[in-house]
Amino acid sequence: MACAVSTSASVLADDAFDLDRPWRLDERVAIRPEPFGALLYHYGTRRLSFLKNRRMLAVVTTLAAQPSARAACTEAGVPDADLPVYARALAVLASSNMISERGVV
Amino acid sequence: MSTALTEQFERGLAAPICLTWELTYACNLACVHCLSSSGRRDPRELTTAECESVIDTLRRMQVFYVNVGGGEPTVRPDFWHLVDYATTRGVGVKFSTNGVRIDADAAARLAASDYIDVQISLDGATEPVNDAVRGAGSYRTARRAMDHLAAAGFRGFKLSVVVTRHNVSQLDEFLALADAYRAQLRLTRLRPSGRGADAWPDLHPTARQQRSLYDWLCAHGERVLTGDSFFHLSGYGQPLPGLNLCGAGRVVCLIDPVGDVYACPFAIHESFLAGSVRADGGFAAVWRDSPLFASLREPSGGGACRSCGCYDSCRGGCMAAKFFTGLPLDGPDPECVRGLGEHAMAMAGPVPRPAADHSRRAVPVTITRRPCDESPVPRAL
């Protein structure tokens, strides 16, 4: 409906996500909290993405302040058993350039 | 998209994802299918200050971008000011234009910003097919604008096509044209809205054409934007990519040139009028509190379509398409893939008329030449 919603979740990353590297949200990404989690919009790629819960939102918003994605997950209260699920979600965000490794040009 | 997320969307969001804002009813063209019956400026259109206030509200609501249209938005004398006002506040602007004001300077300016996207409207891959619908000279105007955008290095602008009975055989040509410009093809559905109500019987794709359109979209879906407007075709089989539901009042709405807020851009009628940005509380209050939007966010039972095996895919189709063809909103779409819409239309009652008609003269049966370089908007706003 007059609405270009790109579901970048369908673009699955082939590469495993490295939880032990430092990551950050792309500076061209805006986040809007929603009852179910959050919406992300990238002004460069003009793609929309979804965070499916508030904990994932907390992970993404603390990424840049933490030494690694794993530390961001810990800070956000992600149980160890759920780490693979969060790593997959972060991999999807990385594949659509919503997040990127810090210090990598 | 997962079912759980779709259900969340059906209940509505904190702010629209897809907000269309028609800045003016003024237009240099007189397309036969114009969904807003545009032509003449309305003297009650929002002032520059009122537009700025709307943009301030959108920024507070964290609306990522606004789809600006019209009429022809670029003929508003404050158009570029409003684009700057929005983008410097982090509200992106995608605007639809027939290209009349996209010269080399404008193209360079547009190409320089991440916060601006441009949709050039073209309804034929060839001049005769396009100009029969959009008017003499409109094909060349659009191509000239595309030339300027490409020369300025604007990558990925949108070539926006309303699919009709006469251009549905040109989809490959449209795609090749978009590729040649390093643009992205965007196909949307013809709705019987505005002057489109009169053009619809002759312009909407036949059942056979709809099937070939669906097959084409399945084959090219990842490369082509559709505004999720063909979800009524998902009843043919696998769902098309995107949000397969009616977003009206849930993720979509329209602000019209006089500040009235409607549930969707294709539903300019008092039945879908949710409020006005000029009322207390502005747009935010309309989005949050409108009883109409609250009702649209209620789960729909599916009505007459509930027992149909296609309902989970097509969701009963497009509310506006049903309304403006005189069909009940809880029944099949006029272009229902099972043909149930045609049957229903044979029994339909009187067809509602749109709320406003700003056509510059009686709806033209044939399009006559109109000057493209003359602003129909008075200099004093």
Query: Hey, of B7, B68, B243, which one would you mutate to test binding to chain A, going by the most A CBs within 10 A of its CB?
Result: B243
Rounded to two decimals, the ipTM of the complex is 0.81
In this predicted structure, what is the pLDDT of residue A11?
41
pLDDT digits (tens, 9 = 90+) for B166-211: 999 999 999 999 999 999 999 999 999 999 999 999 999 999 999 9
pLDDT at A10 over 60: no
Shortest distance between the Cα of A29 and any Cα of chain B, in A, equals 10
pLDDT at A84 over 90: yes
Distance CA A88, CA B2 (A): 16
Q: Which of A65-69, A74-78, B339-343 has the lowest mean pLDDT?
A: B339-343
Calculate Rg over the CA atoms of chain A.
13
Average pLDDT over every residue of A62-87: 96
Structure tokens at A83: 């780490």
Between chains, do A34 and B13 touch, taking CB under 8 Å as contact?
A: yes
pLDDT at B49 over 50: yes
> Residue B67 — pLDDT band, cuts 50, 70, 90?
very high
Give all strands of the β-sheet with A47-51 in edge-to-edge order.
A29-34, A37-42, A47-51
pLDDT digits (tens, 9 = 90+) for B255-312: 999 999 999 999 999 999 999 999 999 999 999 999 999 999 998 778 889 899 999 8
In this predicted structure, what is the pLDDT of residue B345?
84
The average confidence (pLDDT) of chain B is: 91
Contacts of B67 in chain A (CB under 8 A): 2
Q: What are phi and psi of B70, to 5 degrees?
A: -165, -140
Q: Closest Cα partner for B225 from B163, B143, B165, B141?
A: B163
Contacts of B241 in chain A (CB under 8 A): 7, 10
pLDDT digits (tens, 9 = 90+) for B230-251: 999 999 998 888 777 889 999 9
pLDDT digits (tens, 9 = 90+) for B364-375: 444 443 433 334
pLDDT digits (tens, 9 = 90+) for A41-64: 999 888 889 998 999 999 999 999
Shortest distance between the Cα of B14 and any Cα of chain A, in A, equals 6
Contacts of A2 in chain B (CB under 8 A): 18, 20, 67, 188, 227, 229, 247, 252, 264-266
pLDDT digits (tens, 9 = 90+) for B205-235: 999 999 999 999 999 988 999 988 999 999 9
In this predicted structure, what is the pLDDT of residue B346?
81
- Count of positions (residues) in chain A: 105
Contacts of B318 in chain A (CB under 8 A): 1
pLDDT at B380 over 60: no
In this predicted structure, what is the pLDDT of residue A36?
87
Between chains, do A1 and B114 touch, taking CB under 8 Å as contact?
A: no
